[in-house]
Amino acid sequence: MPHTPEPDEDDLDAIGPPQLVFHVEQALLGALLLDPHRLGDVTGIAADSFSTAAHAALFAAISTLPPPDPAEHAKNTTWLDRVLATAREQARGLTASYLHTLIQVCPWPRHAPAYARMVEAEHARQRLQTAANRLVKTVHDASLPHPVQTVLAEADALAAVVDGIAARFPPRAGVLPRTAAPAPPAAPDYMEAIEEERLLLATATAYPAGIDAVPWLLPGDLVVPLHAGVWQCLNALARRREPVDPVTVLWEAQQRGLLDDGSDPGAVLRMLAEPAGSVEHWGERALQRSLLATAEHTGQQIMAYAGDPANTPFQLVVGARRALADIGAVRSRWQHATATAPPPRPRPAPSTRAGPPTTTAAPAAHATRATR
């Protein structure tokens, strides 16, 4: 019967029933304690891949200590004692009985590579969730002097985590996360967004020449559906070279059905009659808000995917990359608006999937083998 150690036995910091990966880690550590030579078959993980401090300390000790002689290891516990002493430097609650428990609960030591792959997959999911959560928190950090640059840097860091996972778990075509994506969040500064969008529309109506100066601003960047529709009207009139003023814009809005929801035509006219500032200024403000909202939604999507343990690393890579593509689209428009073009983010070289070799390897594969 599997044994769940007490918190004071091995400093597991576990409250309540342990997660499935806890039992996988036990099986892996038990395999390595029983047959230390199997460490050479374990790839893709390190001490920080484990879910508890005790398991991390044990794996670090097993990895750093010289392996014992198989014949001697079968006769005595000398090497196990050295592992315990070394691991207890980092996890003082560990006991000899827990090491023996790990050995007992391991079904098959020869399955150590499979157990390690499971630990690696779970660690990848946790890393992805942490990076996505950091992106969302950065969006809401009001103390940032340059929020867009900082958020984009966090988005790059998240993309790097995705690339690292993809290098070990190459995505499979058409395999999407099963988790439903969350709805887009509401703008945190909704009232400010409304006021600034009104100024954008009024200023564009008063100075329609400024509309051509903001081709990077799309209706979807505006938070109010009516405002998005009016922005479409302004662009349509400017594109057709027709007169632009509050009355012509209102008429275009009616032709497009924007007033069918009961919007007061007089209120729209008054909104369009109060210009201030420049179209470019308000347009850039709207685009910045759209970029930050997109980054937050992307982070929330990836957090939802990574929070579902049923999603495989392959699914997480596909879902995360699709979500990050939304940031990339807004980012390119932001760079156009602000005339900034940072150097491209370095991407890791492609690598083969870790796992058992295939029976149809290319001839070149017999000469060299990818290692991680």
Residue 336: give the domain boundaries. Answer: 122-372
Q: How far is CA 248 from CA 238, 255, 280, 326, in A?
A: 11, 11, 22, 34
pLDDT, one tens digit per residue, over 161-201 is 999 999 999 877 768 888 888 888 776 678 999 999 999 99
CATH number of the domain to which 35 belongs = 1.10.860
| Same domain? 211 vs 65 | no
Amino acid at 117: R
Domain assignment present for 94: yes
Question: Could you tell me if 44 and 116 are in contact, meaning their C-beta atoms sit under 8 angstroms apart?
Answer: yes
Question: Residues 67, 71, 77, CA angle at the centre, nearest 5°?
Answer: 65
The last residue of one of the domains, among 107, 135, 169, is 107
| Same domain? 27 vs 92 | yes
Structural domains of the chain, count: 2
Closest by Cα among 34, 37, 12, 9 to 23? 12
Domain assignment present for 240: yes
Q: How far is CA 172 from CA 180, 186, 318, 347, in A?
A: 19, 33, 8, 19
The last residue of one of the domains, among 74, 107, 140, is 107
pLDDT, one tens digit per residue, over 294-333 is 999 999 999 999 999 999 999 999 999 999 999 999 999 9
| Same domain? 80 vs 176 | no
Domain assignment present for 114: no
The last residue of one of the domains, among 82, 107, 132, is 107
Tell me how crowded residue 275 is: count the other CB atoms within 10 A of its CB: 18
What's the whole-model pTM score? 0.81
| Same domain? 101 vs 179 | no
| Same domain? 153 vs 98 | no
| Same domain? 159 vs 299 | yes
pLDDT, one tens digit per residue, over 196-249 is 999 999 999 999 999 999 999 999 999 999 999 999 999 999 999 999 999 999
CATH number of the domain to which 299 belongs = 1.10.860.10
